[in-house]
Structure 1
Amino acid sequence: MSEITPTGISKPDYPSMKERKMKKHRFKWSVLCLLLAACSQLPAQAGTIEAINHTKWAINRFSVDDNPGIDSIGPYQGGGGGCCYRAPEKWKPGMTVKVDWETGVGTTEGFPGFDKWDEYLVWKAKINAQKRQHSQVVPVPYYQNGGDTCGITVHFLPCNQIKVTTSCDAYGSPNYPIKEPLKMKEPTVCPK
């Protein structure tokens, strides 16, 4: 409420300096609390989708939970680089990812050249006939809650088996969890 001064002009009713400072501090504390709450909910760091191919077949394309791995990967090679896979902050038993991929011939052996068009079309049909589509849901191995995760790496193994890891260590290093050698032979009969 305004008060009347001796001059007859009313003086506006401004909050006191103390009240303004209190409101200002209350606002700052509210913002700080919201920021801290938001930071504590951040998920683990996102990373790329990589792959290591332990087979004689090429991996023509692959994806993890519908996120593409980008590169095709030749036999006994690594690649990928698709964006992004983000592991949840906390690992939970039963966590899985769905991996879809296509295998095919890993060489250009027998390529007749484009100048022999009819032979090329026969060769191409033979190559395409060997392509196979695969899909698997696999468990995500345990990782430390709030610990380092570096995207996801898919290991393509013989008999159309796969393993995944979120490890930040490089393949072949002592702490890397998947120990299979790069060059693995395909058994005559795959286990069911």
Structure 2
Amino acid sequence: MNKVNYKLYLVTDSNIIGDRNLVECVRDAIIGGVSVVQLREKNISTRDFYQTALALKELTDYYNVPLIINDRLDIALAVDAAGLHIGQSDLPAIEARKLLGKDKILGVSVSNIEQAQKAKIQGADYIGVGAIFPTNSKGDAKNLNIDILTNIRNSVDIPIVAIGGINENNIELLNNTKINGVAVISAILGNEDIIKASNNLYYKCKFL
């Protein structure tokens, strides 16, 4: 799966939006410039995850934005999402690729060159690299640095999305790393004005 615009990649987290509606928040984020949406919800039932995925699939299809499902291959297949994102402790990428098929997007989280190269060999379309900056969204994430990010960038020729603590105050530090995009959670969903927050980040993304 090529020609995906990874520039501003939104990862969902219902805990951050409070009592606001997730679908409406994602809609505002897309209007503001988000180009990929990943549904990542850790503390809901499978049925609720499925229903949320269906609603987001309808929304993202309307705006022609890819919907990626985090971890849950079954949900990704059930709603015909654009793709799946997996971590190092999930189903191996090579098996996920077999089950997804060649036409779906497969993303893999990595934190070093070895993992990045393995992900590419096993069929990843892109890799998520992080955590680049300190983050509260994923408590077990090990912080990397921009030098490590650059080394990973130089080691593989598939798209790279940086993740972890990225916000409008530090995003420009990544502009010379030749990555393809940034994944954000609270920097968008934690704002009262989601459209404005997305738009501010979008115009600061000058990676390539």
Q: What TM-score range do you get, normalising by the shorter chain?
A: under 0.3
Report which of the two has the higher share of strand.
1
**What TM-score does the superposition give when structure 1 sets the normalisation length?**
0.22
Report which of the two has the higher share of helix.
2
**What TM-score does the superposition give when structure 2 sets the normalisation length?**
0.21
